[in-house]
Amino acid sequence: MKQVITLSDNAANRIKEIMSKAEKDLVGLRVGVKSGGCAGMSYIMEYTKEVKPNDEVIEDKGVKLFVDPGAIMYLLGTEMDTKKSNFHHHLSSKILMKQKGVDAVSPLRYNRIMRDTNI
């Protein structure tokens, strides 16, 4: 089976940096979807302390992601990447979820921008 989510080197490094500053009893990041957003679904990402029985476990570039089985069809083929921005003179790095096959000229190419501070 194709890996549900892949990570760019930049995304893996940023997630490792975030995880290194988090609580030590965490097992990784949980990635999923919820109702809402422009396309009817929006991405969620949060710390997790447990592996649920039916989780899809993804290990890529030293990062562990846990995906709920109900979210797989929405996340299949997604690449996590990062983007640096300078908003109101505050430099930040955002984690992006990019889906393959989305029209390159679409303003929704990066379907959901997740700020690291919201993880």
The model's pLDDT over 69-98, given as tens digits with 9 standing for 90+, comes to 988 988 888 888 887 766 555 555 667 777
What length is written for the chain? 119
Domain ranges of the chain: 5-118
Q: Which two tokens stand for residue 99?
A: 């889906």
Neighbours of 104 (CB within 10 A): 5
Residue 109: pLDDT band (50, 70, 90) is very low
Query: Is 43 in contact with 114 (CB distance < 8 Å)?
Result: yes
The model's pLDDT over 33-74, given as tens digits with 9 standing for 90+, comes to 887 656 666 778 888 999 999 999 999 999 999 999 988 988
Query: Is 83 in contact with 2 (CB distance < 8 Å)?
Result: no
Q: Does domain 5-118 have CATH number 2.60.300.12?
A: yes
Residue 24 vs residue 38, higher pLDDT: 24
pTM of the model: 0.73
Strands in 28-35's sheet, in edge-to-edge order, are 41-48, 28-35, 63-67, 56-60
